[in-house]
Amino acid sequence: MNPPPLPHCELEHIPPHFTAFLLYNGGVAQLGQLTITEAADLYHVKPATWRAYVARGQMPKPTNSDGTWDIVQLITRRDAPLPPELKTAALCQAYRINAAGAAWQTRTQPHLVQDGLACEQAAIFADSITPSGMTRETFTTARKILYLRKDYRHEVRRIPPVIDTLTRKELYLVIANRAGSAHPTALYAELGKMLIARGMEEVTPPWRPTPDFYSENPRKFLRLLEHSQILHTFDLSIQAKAA
């Protein structure tokens, strides 16, 4: 007898304990593992039905040797009712894996944090994705800067290791102006400084990112993030500096 189709679940009906899978390590969202009971509960089916889905290939086999599933693995196979912040974290992780591999992100994020970005901000800019809540104008400008850092990494390599502060500041003002910022250029010069000051390959996007790396449709991806609160603080800091 075939198992029933997976039901459509609304976000309002998420079991309360699922928020526990959004763990925090230094403020960075980490994705937990699901047992068979938890995976079945997430999709509102019984464990026996879940086993039938896996046996028929409707859902993936366990990711780990202990018989658990990654949330990323599940929601990229079939949409699931998750809290917005957890779903955002899972999708970002999926984009990271598809576009550049976990090793690239692991190298990039610590450098961004070391350059002054908060952990949540670094995680997003390591993905070349801008936070929720930005105006479209700000979003477009920030994305341009992310593209420009690829072009500038060769120029940064030619800069002498030791240069005076004024020269470096002027360099980043040029980067911000070239991005066509409609906001104070100093703000985006500072962002550029955080991203490329070291001139390291790990702080630049891959040479050939997949479409999902920047999102096939930026507007659609921005809507996906609009309910997330994890990244909202970055937009507030932009508004405070621009005021």
Q: Which residues contact 112 (CB under 8 A, 6 or more apart)?
A: 121, 122, 125, 126, 194, 195, 203
- Averaged over 179-191, what is the pLDDT? 48
Q: Cα 193–29–228 angle (5° rounding)?
A: 85
Instruction: Quote the mean pLDDT of the chain.
Output: 54
The single residue listed with the structure tokens 């066509």 is 180
Question: Beta-strand (E) ranges in the chain?
Answer: 22-25, 28-31, 33-34, 69-70
pTM for the model: 0.33
Both structure tokens of 37: 């009971």
The model's pLDDT over 60-105, given as tens digits with 9 standing for 90+, comes to: 788 777 788 877 767 766 667 666 666 666 666 655 555 444 555 5
